[in-house]
Amino acid sequence: MVTDLNDDFKNDSSTATSDAGHRLETEHAAQALALVHTLLSWAESQVRADTSDGHALVMPLVNADIELRWVLEGLHPADVAYVLEALPLDERLHVWGLVNPDQDGEILLEVSDSVRETLIADMSRQELVAATESLDADEIAELADDLPREVVEEVAENMPIEERAQFRAVMSYPDDAVGSAMDFEMLTVSEDMTLDMVLRQLRGMEELPEQTDQIFVVDKDGVLRGSLSLDRILVNQSDILVADVMRDDVLQLNPLDDMDDAAQAFERYDLVSAPVVDGQNRLVGRLTIDEVVDAIREQGESEVLAQVGLKEEQDIFSSVPNAVRNRAPWLLVNLFTAGTASYVASRFDGTVQHIVVLAFLMSIVAGIGGNSGNQTMTLIIRALALGQITGSNVQDLVRKELAVTSLIGLGGGLIAAVFAYVISGSASLGAVMMASMFINMLVGAGMGMLVPMVREKMGKDPAVGSSVLLTFATDTFGFLIFLGLATIFLL
């Protein structure tokens, strides 16, 4: 909702409820989780009590549930989400049933997508509508993909016209676009107002929108003219016009801008909020730091999981079939790649039989090549995410990485050669060890650059399955190079 300070502000007759009296003594989600576990265990022990005739006696759980409700009531919605995500499904649903319904919507926003699905599946249509109606338009849009269609339609029909338009606007943008995360609660002023007028009207408000660090200056058509930071209101004389102290060099975002690019801008310029404008430079919303932090966290988690072929936000207590479907595909790929590497090694069984020490050394060659490749690949994936790799600098980057790997490979290969000579007494074996490690580290560096770059070029996530493919290359080529050189020069 855009709050125009040109309008007269009217105080809401209802007063905001303070949560100061609803704090858990520990105020730490981890300690709250431990307390929830204790109460659940105690409740379970009360469910079945052996009687003298050997039958189970069902005991009332009123006291345990009252204690659990008290604990949950004292937690911030984000901490309740933390607790729910750390509980097995049956316990999660039991605790979810004890949560204050007034918090349901905020908690659904905080939990991961996979956990949210389990909670929504346990709620009736009426409960979902009640939980969702209390949220803002942009928050409802965030949940819309996980809610039943009929719930979304009912909630949308009950929205005021302005909020309904905002909701449909957010829903029209891709999930990774700024428009899908923008907020509509913001303050606007006109250039011809004095700072005293702005300050008096601010004081007439019950509260400011969250993450308010600046007020946007617009003309009568809603076109963004600049911004007025709160500190400029406080440090300047009250009779000064907004136009005289406002900033006109404000970073502006478009609803179709990528969230990753917006996050980089927030980090680079230390922003708390930024205006979102349309093609005619009209102010349509704002992006705030809390949404950016969420996007950065999700991106980081996604990259870590994607490197080993896992989907993002997998519920750790998901059902066995779901977990198998999530993990099995890339593990099967890994099984194939490992089998290929083993097959390559088996082709040199005669060499290994003649020089048994090769069986112990070849794993070093493969392992060091893989670690070298992982270092390069991590740097490349990060650079791709930051947009630092372009067609004009890619050749320089490749040359630099190969130079670094070559120097490290020579040094590491020399150490490995000395080690091989010490345990075998063969200078020739040491030379083969050094050459193999050097070449395989170059293979690892090459694959560490090639895999993510090719996937990025194909429009795919450069991190997905990258470590699996890298391991395949360094293991297979490591065995081939080491045992091949050993066959040529040592037999």
> Is the predicted pLDDT of residue 325 greater than 80, yes or no?
no
Q: What is the mean pLDDT of residues 430-456?
A: 91
Give me the pLDDT at residue 136, please: 87
Long-range Cβ contacts of 435-439 (<8 Å, 24+ apart): 435/485, 436/365, 436/478, 436/481, 436/482, 436/485, 437/364, 437/365, 437/368, 437/369, 437/409, 437/412, 437/413, 438/406, 438/409, 438/410, 438/413, 439/409, 439/481
> Is the predicted pLDDT of residue 253 greater than 90, yes or no?
yes
Structure tokens at 379: 């740097």
pLDDT band per the 50, 70, 90 thresholds, residue 295: confident
> Is the predicted pLDDT of residue 456 greater than 60, yes or no?
yes
Collapsing DSSP states into helix, strand and coil, what is residue 214? strand
Give me the pLDDT at residue 20, please: 38
- Please name the residue that has the structure tokens 């067609």: 391
SS3 content of the chain, % helix, strand, coil (to 5): 60, 10, 30
* pLDDT top residue among 256 and 456: 256
Q: What is the mean pLDDT of residues 111-119?
A: 89
Instruction: Say what percent of the chain tops pLDDT 90.
Output: 38
Q: Looking at 159-173, 291-305, 371-385, which range is the least confident one?
A: 291-305
Q: Which domains does the chain have, with CATH numbers?
A: 25-174 (1.25.60.10), 186-298 (3.10.580.10), 320-490 (1.10.357.20)
> Is the predicted pLDDT of residue 56 greater than 70, yes or no?
no
Distance CA 275, CA 264 (A): 15
Instruction: Give how far Cα 246 sits from Cα of 7, 12, 192, 240, Å.
Output: 20, 30, 11, 11
* pLDDT top residue among 313 and 36: 36
**120-130: per-residue pLDDT in tens?**
999 999 999 99
**336-354: per-residue pLDDT in tens?**
777 888 888 888 888 887 7
Tell me which range, 291-305, 332-346, 352-366, 413-427, is most confidently predicted by mean pLDDT. 413-427
Distance CA 30, CA 36 (A): 10
Give me the pLDDT at residue 96, please: 94
> Is the predicted pLDDT of residue 410 greater than 90, yes or no?
yes
pLDDT band per the 50, 70, 90 thresholds, residue 50: very low
E strand or H helix at 74, and its extent?
A: none
Distance CA 392, CA 2 (A): 43
Give me the pLDDT at residue 385, please: 75
Instruction: Say what percent of the chain tops pLDDT 70.
Output: 86
Q: Distance from CA of residue 56 to its chain's centroid?
A: 46
Give me the pLDDT at residue 255, please: 95
Give me the pLDDT at residue 23, please: 46
> Is the predicted pLDDT of residue 24 greater than 60, yes or no?
no
* pLDDT top residue among 325 and 476: 476
Q: What is the mean pLDDT of residues 57-61?
A: 48
Mean pLDDT in the chain? 83
